[in-house]
Amino acid sequence: MDLHPDAKAGSIEFNGAPVEYADTGAPGDERITIVLVHGTGGTTATHFGTLYPMLAARHRVIGIDLRVDGSTTLDTLVAQVAALIEDRSAGRPIHLVGYSLGAVVTAALAGRHQHLVATLTLIAGWVATDKQQRLRHNVWRHHHEVGGRSLQEFQTLMAHSSQFLRSKSDHDLEAMIASRTVRPGTDIEMDINGTVDVADEVAAITAPTLVIGCLDDQMVPIRHSHMLFGGIQDSRLAEIPSGHAVTVERPAQLFQLIDAFVRQPDRHAAGSTIPALTI
């Protein structure tokens, strides 16, 4: 997927292997720099394919494609993003945006490496994995072993809100199901998802933070965003009527929230809830 006419593909070396990224700017670019970190089973293109060009119309945007192999842990994912920031924006804090597992990674990074982060946006993230999430992970593993249509239907069901699914014609819904694939390494990311606990890092976050929760999220129910909101001192909350796949269901609303926040982080006071947008 071509993310944006200005996006240039590149890579940094991490533990002897390349970590790829797409960057609309270059070191020294004076525009606001936004780094996007995708979620489980995704890439910059699949999770931010619509949001990336919207943000790139106004800002420098870097999307990282996390590298996953048999030795990958949450710590190594955090280290990959930190290495990218230091390589592509040396000496300048960036505006960090994480989605799903990417929100966990970026929250951990912001707590551990405060000097790297100007603002933090957490989309559909969580502090610690709970029993409901573990049950869903177990069902996912079962469908993954079976493969084929069973997994495709389960992924589609869990990712989207009922309203979004009802809005699709039978033909479009079938196309959505058939297009579902499993990126290599997704099973490793799912293992990481099952053991998340970043409570200490969340408590250490100092950057102004925007927490975005999805009201119809079956993967990471809205209560998890409320926990992030309550656990970060300088945070504000926005709630979107969407399933977990909010980057697909509501990209324009995400753009408005993120764009306004990175340009004026203190527009909404810490502890406040941002009024709902009608889009």
Q: Which pLDDT tens digit goes with each residue over 130-141? A: 999 999 999 999
Mean predicted lDDT score pLDDT of the chain: 95
**C-alpha–C-alpha distance, residues 225 and 229, integer Å:** 6
- The CATH architecture to which 8-127+189-263 belongs is 3-Layer(aba) Sandwich (3.40)
pLDDT band at 278 (very low <50, low <70, confident <90, very high): low
| pLDDT one-digit tens code per residue, 4-53 | 999 999 999 999 999 999 999 976 678 999 999 999 999 999 999 999 99
Exposed e or buried b per residue across 164-200, where buried means at least 16 C-beta atoms within 10 angstroms of its C-beta = beeeeeeeeeeebeeeeeeeebbbbbbebbeebebee
pLDDT of residue 27: 63
Assess whether pLDDT exceeds 60 at residue 117: yes
Please choose, from the candidates 251, 184, 167, the residue with its C-alpha nearest in 3D space to the C-alpha of residue 41. 184
Residue that is written with structure tokens 């992924």 in the block = 155
Region of 65 on the Ramachandran plot (φ > 0 left; ψ -120 to 50 alpha; else beta): beta
pLDDT band at 242 (very low <50, low <70, confident <90, very high): very high
Per-domain residue ranges of the chain: 8-127+189-263, 131-184
